[in-house]
Amino acid sequence: MLRVAARLGPRLGHRLLSAAATQAVPAPNQQPEVFCNQIFINNEWHDAVSRKTFPTVNPSTGEVICQVAEGDKALETLDNGKPYVISYLVDLDMVLKCLRYYAGWADKYHGKTIPIDGDFFSYTRHEPVGVCGQIIPWNFPLLMQAWKLGPALATGNVVVMKVAEQTPLTALYVANLIKEAGFPPGVVNIVPGFGPTAGAAVASHEGVDKVAFTGSTETGRLIQVAAGNSNLKRVTLELGGKSPNIIMSDADMDWAVEQAHFALFFNQGQCCCAGSRTFVQEDIYDEFVERSVARAKSRVVGNPFDSKTEQGPQVDETQFKKILGYINSGKQEGAKLLCGGGVAADRGYFIQPTVFGDVQDGMTIAKEEIFGPVMQILKFKTVEEVVGRANNSTYGLAAAVFTKDLDKANYLSQALQAGTVWVNCYDVFGAQSPFGGYKMSGSGRELGEYSLQAYTEVKTVTVKVPQKNS
């Protein structure tokens, strides 16, 4: 679980590395053969109707891997650039737990019998919604696939899934496993392709009953509009964030520094819930900044197949350029560049771990989602002030509080407008606990029992009876 990674801190590197060293993590095949590169429909592989293919690129080298093809466990790292050790110990671990969790729900999502007025017997059936379109992103390809398939299939739906064009390989591998497991043909269908074509088609299809999307707020808007314009299909969205991480002066300093670092830099900064506004109480501000910079400078950037690497490349050239653009705006708008700020290698999409201090709320880097290894540290005085500033955002995905005080923890967790509030931790996920956004970070919840609701259509059945008795 990410909690495992979270607890580790600098020990993250060490624990994972020693796991790799003692061969708890199998050695990666750095050049896996790819053979699943087609469209998966009815448990069979098809070429695109247009016969087109698209290249998928290895972000560590900038080279084309193939025209969409197959592989093994190293696939996620090859396609996305995330460190292999983390892909194995964190992503895959969470995928397994998510699938097993939802397997358990299949026969437990009860309807109710209801004491209605009159001589009637009333009950509800929890029926599947029907055909569910699912559009998933490139930052956690396998995990996002599991988060979507789990509740959809547990409640009896069928799925048409469009995978991100940057990272289609692992989802297609899983398609083969779906066939092997024995799901009837047609239950899961997977279509690799692009947003404006395949994605738009799913969002506006008259035969799709529900769409679930994870990605940018900008695209989320388009999905919701398309759903409304076509057949009013049900919509759930998991979008972007600019999550505040609030460090009170009584926090455990070592722990807070490590967690705040992890909160921003994990997955190359490519997390919807990244702690991208680190608010530090003024009494401890200077020391916190100094330690955070030291930590960022020690972050190991490199080949994701190397077990020593903590940070791989950004996923593609578009993201790479966009992040560098934000760094530039930070410099221009007067934030204090404390470390990093540039490219980290001469090929691929590597960026130096970057820290800005003295960030002000009005700066672009304090308002817009960067989705890269760029940390913003801001100063605050009082709890009331920081609540106002933290909530002053159209986003509301996650938030965190570091404090030892019971009352402050309660006050802040109640006040923050965020779908998840972490207290003295960050990025702790469990298949059991719901996750989702307030405001423009999304609608609906994934994970936990709550996710089942979005994949269920409630039917009320009311039967006349000769005489009702309680």
Partner 1 sequence: MATTNGAVENGQPDRKPPALPRPIRNLEVKFTKIFINNEWHESKSGKKFATYNPSTLEKICEVEEGDKPDVDKAVEAAQAAFQRGSPWRRLDALSRGRLLHQLADLVERDRATLAALETMDTGKPFLHAFFIDLEGCIRTLRYFAGWADKIQGKTIPTDDNVVCFTRHEPIGVCGAITPWNFPLLMLVWKMAPALCCGNTMVLKPAEQTPLTALYLGSLIKEVGFPPGVVNIVPGFGPTVGAAISSHPQINKIAFTGSTEVGKLVKEAASRSNLKRVTLELGGKNPCIVCADADLDLAVECAHQGVFFNQGQCCTAASRVFVEEQVYAEFVRRSVEYARKRPVGDPFDVKTEQGPQIDQKQFDKILELIESGKKEGAKLECGGSAVEDRGLFIKPTVFSEVTDNMRIAKEEIFGPVQPILKFKSIEEVIKRANSTDYGLTAAVFTKNLDKALKLASALESGTVWINCYNALYAQAPFGGFKMSGNGRELGEYALAEYTEVKTVTIKLGDKNP
In the bound complex, what is the minimum distance in angstroms from residue 469's beta carbon to partner 1?
A: 6
Candidate residues 370, 387, 390, 454; the one interacting with partner 1 per rule CB under 8 A: 387
Site map (CB under 8 A) of partner 1, residues 54-93, x = contact: ----------------------------------------
- Other Cβ atoms less than 10 A from the Cβ of 333: the count is 15
238 is catalytic: yes
Is residue 460 within the footprint of partner 1 (CB under 8 A)?
Answer: no
Closer residue to partner 1 in complex, CB, 185/196: 185
- Residues numbered 157 to 216 that lie near partner 1 (CB under 8 A) are 179-184
Candidate residues 35, 54, 255, 411; the one interacting with partner 1 per rule CB under 8 A: 411
Active-site residue, selected from the candidate residues 238, 258, 310, 369 = 238
Residue that is written with structure tokens 């076509």 in the block: 230
Alpha helix ranges (H) inside 182-316: 200-204, 217-229, 253-265, 285-297
Distance from C-alpha of 244 to C-alpha of 182, rounded to nearest angstrom: 44
Whole-number Cα distances in Å, 311 to 81, 259, 305, 445: 9, 16, 11, 29
Count of residues engaged in binding partner 1, rule: CB under 8 A: 37
Distance from C-alpha of 108 to C-alpha of 438, rounded to nearest angstrom: 28
Contacts of 137 (CB under 8 A, 6+ apart): 144, 164, 214, 215
In the bound complex, what is the minimum distance in angstroms from residue 194's beta carbon to partner 1?
A: 31
Candidate residues 110, 117, 206, 232; the one interacting with partner 1 per rule CB under 8 A: 110
Distance from C-alpha of 403 to C-alpha of 421, rounded to nearest angstrom: 13
Is residue 118 within the footprint of partner 1 (CB under 8 A)?
Answer: no
**Tokens coding 397:** 């995905």
Which range touches partner 1 (CB under 8 A), out of 129-137, 204-212, 287-295, 429-437?
429-437
Radius of gyration of the chain (CA): 23
Candidate residues 50, 117, 232, 463; the one interacting with partner 1 per rule CB under 8 A: 463
Which range touches partner 1 (CB under 8 A), out of 18-26, 105-113, 225-233, 367-375?
105-113
Asked if 49 contacts 302 with a C-beta cutoff of 8 angstroms, the reply is no
Candidate residues 24, 27, 106, 343; the one interacting with partner 1 per rule CB under 8 A: 106
Distance from C-alpha of 157 to C-alpha of 151, rounded to nearest angstrom: 9
Is residue 117 within the footprint of partner 1 (CB under 8 A)?
Answer: no
Of the candidates 96, 101, 82, 92, the one whose C-alpha atom is nearest the C-alpha of residue 24 is 92
Q: What residues are labeled active site?
A: 238
Binding site for partner 1 (CB under 8 A): 97, 100-101, 103-108, 110, 121, 179-184, 383-384, 387, 406-408, 410-411, 414-415, 430-432, 449, 463, 465-469
